[in-house]
Amino acid sequence: MELTDLFSNLALGFSVAATPANMFWCLMGALVGTAIGVLPGVGPVATMALLLPTTYYLPPEGALIMLAGIYYGAQYGGSTTAILINLPGESSSVVTVLDGYQMAKQGRAGAALAIAAIGSFFAGCVATVAIAVAAPPLTKVAQKFAPADYCSLMVLGLVFAIVLARGSVVKALGMVFLGMLLGLVGTDVNTGNLRYTFGISDLFDGIGFVPLVMGLFGMAEIMANMTNAERRDLVTSKVTGLMPTWADLKASAMPVLRGTILGGFLGILPGGGAVLASFSSYTVEKKLAKDPSRFGKGAIEGVAGPESANNAAAQTSFIPMLTLGIPSNAVMAMMIGGMMIHGIVPGPQVMTDRPGLFWGMIASMWLGNLMLIVLNLPMIGLWVRMLMVPYRLMSVAILFFCCIGVYSLNNSANEVLFIAVFGLLGYLFFKLDCEPAPLLLGFILGPLLEVYMRRAMLLSRGDAMVFIERPLSASFLALAAVLLVIVLLPNIRKAREVAFVE
């Protein structure tokens, strides 16, 4: 019964995803994603923010399919840069640099690129099936949640995101609170009162998601990157021998499998995502290797494992977003932003109310992965040439796209002023070593949390004990508390720092 459901769901998905228009948006997303993945200094979050206004003109299916394509496309692209020039194109390919670049220096760039692509494709296929299998039961569970349970689940999600984020836990907590506070700016939907608007009429509807993200991620990124003088050592502009040898494939098979499983699990955890997955996979491969000293000197396992892991995680991180409506990282916050632009309220009801959208997006991930592996390897030459575009020109172009993107939302010049302000704020956060990602999660979840808190309090007739009396809610809160305590204990904190440094 369940299996036939799975097939009929996937069939529905493919019937949506395989229409020419949606195939086109999927391809566009994957290509744009690869392009920004290749370019160091332009992250998927900033790019998705740049394209968010454009998706306003698309049907919701096309919009979300394209946005998703950007994310997993970026995972493919990031590895190209990591292997060819000793620089991670994406933060999730930081570890690929270690062995990938060494392989390229030994003239095995082709093999490294091919293994990275094959590993990513395999991981993408498995993760797509994993989403399709895991989503319906999780959604069923989520539909039974009472408002109080939802409230506590959001708290748990935020705590998870803090625990798994890099850097100081206290600062991450502060950023979450600040983000939630920013999310509450504007008209209180329940009472109609204005909050923190300072009499500025553009703030009556709240702070716009797009200006906030473009300022914090786009403008601040330009500022930070302009300071660093750039050096790009391209190994070789000609990549030959794209086919990996039989020995390469054999050596990579197990790391790919392990990376996929590891990445798949880590991706589901809020705050986990692609970066954590690739780091963990590298550590695992190094520990399991017969001769760990080969790592860092061009071991193919060091490319195969992490590259599979980051792609698997990139895709499974859609699970909590799709089923619970809770973003696990900044990229998923962006996907939710994309949904809300189209008036879709994220949550478990998406699957039942809009099955075409839901399953279409999942099916498009598999199609997108297929397109990426078919297109990417032959297009390596083009990507390499794109790396020649100097940052001094790219920064100017990004600035323009930030401005026009925000302006196009409401044709409001004042909102462009906001990105200037948020850009400054973003740079300040950067200098104070405060990660902006938790702020974004707080910004999305803050207003939702308030809605559910009010509902819970109304239902319980003003009894705050409802959060502890409901078993589900209580266990979420307990888990959140335990996690916070654990991560603040000195010993664990040290271990965590070491893990992230490695």
Partner 1 sequence: MRIKGSQDLAAGLMFGIIGLLAIKIGADYPVGSWQRPGTGVLPLILAWCLVGIGAILTLKGLVSAGPSLLEGQWAWRPVIMVTLAGIAFALLVDDGGLVAAMAVSMAICALGTPETRWREFAYFTVIMCVTAVLMFIKGLGMPIKVFPWN
Residue 498 Cβ vs partner 1, minimum distance, rounded to whole Å: 17
**Cα 458 from Cα 480, distance rounded (Å):** 24
Q: Which residue's CB is nearer to partner 1, number 393 or number 501?
A: 393
Instruction: Single out the residue of 165, 159, 171 nearest to residue 429, CA to CA.
Output: 171
* Contact (CB, 8 A) for 236 and 98: no
Residue 228 Cβ vs partner 1, minimum distance, rounded to whole Å: 9
Q: Which residue's CB is nearer to partner 1, number 223 or number 370?
A: 223
Q: Which residue's CB is nearer to partner 1, number 181 or number 251?
A: 181
Residue 489 Cβ vs partner 1, minimum distance, rounded to whole Å: 16
Q: Which residue's CB is nearer to partner 1, number 243 or number 465?
A: 465
Residue 427 Cβ vs partner 1, minimum distance, rounded to whole Å: 5
**Cα 14 from Cα 11, distance rounded (Å):** 5
DSSP per residue, 170-191? HHHHHHHHHHHHHHH-EE-TTT
Residue 236 Cβ vs partner 1, minimum distance, rounded to whole Å: 25
Instruction: Single out the residue of 203, 238, 231, 191 nearest to residue 86, CA to CA.
Output: 231
User: Measured between alpha carbons, how far is residue 188 from residues 16, 38, 410 in Å?
Assistant: 37, 42, 21
Q: For binding to partner 1 (CB under 8 A), which residues are involved?
A: 57, 168, 170-171, 173-174, 177-178, 180-181, 184, 188, 190-191, 193, 195-196, 219, 222-224, 226-227, 229, 390-393, 395-397, 399-400, 402-404, 407-408, 411, 413-414, 416-417, 419-420, 423-424, 427-428, 431-434, 446, 449-450, 453-454, 457-458, 461-464
Q: Which residue's CB is nearer to partner 1, number 70 or number 449?
A: 449
User: Measured between alpha carbons, how far is residue 440 from residues 17, 68, 176, 214, 446 in Å?
Assistant: 29, 18, 8, 11, 10
* Contact (CB, 8 A) for 55 and 209: no
**Cα 55 from Cα 49, distance rounded (Å):** 10
Residue 184 Cβ vs partner 1, minimum distance, rounded to whole Å: 6
**Long-range contacts from 493-497, C-beta under 8 angstroms, 24+ separation:** 493/169
Cβ neighbourhood burial of 453 (10 Å; 0-12, 13-18, 19+): middle
Cβ neighbourhood burial of 234 (10 Å; 0-12, 13-18, 19+): middle
Residue 363 Cβ vs partner 1, minimum distance, rounded to whole Å: 28
Q: Which residue's CB is nearer to partner 1, number 105 or number 171?
A: 171
Q: Which residue's CB is nearer to partner 1, number 95 or number 182?
A: 182
User: Measured between alpha carbons, how far is residue 408 from residues 48, 259, 317, 340, 413 in Å?
Assistant: 15, 41, 30, 17, 9
Q: Which residue's CB is nearer to partner 1, number 342 or number 454?
A: 454
Q: Which residue's CB is nearer to partner 1, number 125 or number 456?
A: 456
Residue 45 Cβ vs partner 1, minimum distance, rounded to whole Å: 18
**Cα 471 from Cα 63, distance rounded (Å):** 38
Residue 111 Cβ vs partner 1, minimum distance, rounded to whole Å: 35
Q: Phi and psi of 326, rounded to 5°?
A: -110, 120
